[in-house]
Chain A
Amino acid sequence: MKRFLFIPLFLYAFALAQMSFLVHFFPAGLIPNLIVFAVLFFAVFEKPESYTSFGAALFGGLLIDIFSGGIIGLWPALLLGATFLIKIVLENYVRISIPQKL
């Protein structure tokens, strides 16, 4: 239950930091997109059976569209697709190292 509260707040804080805080430190408008990094991070490192990264992709994408002025829904779709792709690759082509000494 905690993750449903903390992850949206986390992404919202990233959105505000990106727009109002990091602007002063990155010249020429080349500010890293922290929301995208966060969503991809969740997709790569969460448990295979978890759906948290999909929710994060939808909410993070919504924040990007709201604050950037583009078409609302574009970034959620993009991030959702990227998360899905990562999940497929991790499940089908990457294995945890076994056996290991117990």
Chain B
Amino acid sequence: MSIFQKKKPDAKLRSGMLFVAEAGIGPMPRQSKEQWCLQENPGWITPSRCSTQRETPETPLFSYQIRRKMSICSTCQRGYVLGIIGTMRGMVSKRKVVIGAVVLLFLFSLNFMAADARGFATSVSSPFQAALWQAGENISTFFGGGNLKKENEFLQEENLALTQQLISLQDTAKENQELRNVLDLELNQEFQLVMGEIIGKNLGEDSIMIRAGQAQGIQKDMPVITAGKVAVGRVVEVFHDSAKVQLLSAKDKKLDARIENTEVTGIIQGQGAQTIILDFVPQEDEIREGDIVVTSTLGDIFPENILIGRIQDVIKSGSDPFQKAAIDHFFNLKAVETVFVITS
């Protein structure tokens, strides 16, 4: 039923009818005073002892207008409400609904000047907002540990910046140490060197990329060594600021070598996977485990006496005219970060 229509009176409820209201949720039960009194006091025959005392008018908004009488049963001394159905009232009046609708329309019309309306409200409220904001900030700072929170945030940021600086300085320190090693070994007096930082590794091809290229005077086939004068490999590709270095262990690559302090010569042969062997050593020449292998004068890439590795295992075969030896390469790819290219 629409709220704008008058509610039709219930057929059972007529003006002048008496009923008793009870507590609870839901429609009120229709029960006469006599019925209620007899129900509460089963021994009585007539409820004539129940009498009325005063009247309490009440006008609810959405239901029947009811005149209620608050009464006390003189015998049982229990209170009850005697209700009389009065004139039925209508629901919310049309006038109030129209007023509400007009106000809503006015509010929606404010959208056409929303900026002005908001600007006005903000300008009026800004002093109070500023005061409340400051108060809120002071209280939250007080309960949040005063200035400790801000100080903590500042220190955390500073810590991050210092950590970054530390990493950068550590790299510089390493570089300095490498250069000092070169100076200690007086390598710079023997050769002209260009330092190149290892920036990439291709273990499948046994090659590395270094940060030194044409701009630094690097050319193809130049030998590469470490600060400890250990042979690394040779330059196979040159770019403007970088170069690719093929390691000694690259498969099927060969290098002339000899045993240190002897005239025993052989060929260093790459086996791939960073392993090298010394091959083509005549059977009659004596080689032992622990012997140091260095580059020989016969080679056309590396200068003489550049360290290669140490003999680990000697492999002799009866039918083969040559003996072989497994070499423990001094160059450790995992440990070295900087190499030197011999430019002359």
Taking beta carbons and an 8 Å cutoff, which residues of A are in contact with B? 16-17, 19-25, 48-49, 51, 54, 58, 61-62, 65-67, 69, 71-73, 76-77, 80, 87-88, 91-102
Which of B63, B121, B136 is the one whose CB lies under 8 Å from A25?
A: B136
Tell whether B24 is near chain A: CB-to-CB under 8 Å. Answer: yes
Query: Top 3 A-B pairs ranked by shortest CB distance?
Result: A73-B108, A20-B132, A24-B136
Proximity string of chain B (120-150) to chain A, C-beta cutoff 8 Å, 1 when within and 0 when not:
0100010011101101110110000000000
| Complex Cα gap A15–B227 (Å) | 73
CB pairs A–B below 8 angstroms (26 shown): A16-B125, A16-B128, A17-B132, A20-B128, A20-B133, A20-B136, A21-B132, A25-B140, A48-B60, A48-B61, A48-B62, A49-B61, A58-B100, A58-B103, A58-B107, A71-B111, A73-B108, A91-B61, A92-B62, A92-B63, A93-B25, A94-B25, A97-B23, A98-B22, A99-B22, A102-B70
Which of A24, A65, A94, A97 is within 8 Å of B137, CB to CB? A24
Residues in B neighbouring A51, C-beta threshold 8 A: 96
Inter-chain contact B100/A54, CB cutoff 8 Å: yes
Interface of B, secondary structure class, is: helix
Q: Count how many chain B residues have C-beta atoms less than 8 Å from C-beta atoms of the other chain.
A: 41
| Identity of the chain A residue whose Cβ is nearest the Cβ of B54 in the assembled complex | A102
Q: Which residues of A contact B23 (CB under 8 A)?
A: 95-99
Q: How far is the CB of A54 from chain B (nearest CB, A)?
A: 7
Q: With A80-B104, A101-B79 given, name 4 new contacts (CB 8 A).
A: A16-B132, A91-B62, A92-B62, A99-B81
Complex Cα gap A94–B28 (Å): 11
- Is B51 positioned at the interface, with any CB of A under 8 Å from its CB? no
Q: Let me know if A99 and B79 touch, CB within 8 A.
A: yes
Closest CB-CB distance, A34 to chain B, in whole Å?
13
Q: Which residues of B contact A (CB under 8 A)?
A: 21-26, 28, 59-63, 70, 72, 78-81, 96, 100, 103-104, 107-108, 110-111, 114, 117-118, 121, 125, 128-130, 132-133, 135-137, 139-140
Inter-chain contact A88/B62, CB cutoff 8 Å: yes
Which residues of the other chain, A, contact B118 by a CB distance below 8 angstroms?
A: 66, 69
Q: Is there contact, CB below 8 Å, between A102 and B104?
A: no
B143's closest neighbor in chain A, by CB? A25
A67 to B59, CA, bound (A): 39
Q: Please, which residue of chain A has its CB at the minimum distance from the CB of B125?
A: A16
- With a CB–CB cut-off of 8 A, which chain B residues contact A93? 25-26
Cβ–Cβ < 8 Å partners of A99 in chain B: 21-23, 78-81
Contact partners of B25 in chain A: CB under 8 A: 93-95
Q: What distance in Å separates the Cβ of B218 from its nearest Cβ neighbour in chain A? A: 57
Whether the pair B78, A73 counts as a contact (CB closer than 8 A) is no
A94 to B103, CA, bound (A): 30
Q: Whole-angstrom distance from the CB of A89 to the nearest CB of chain B?
A: 10
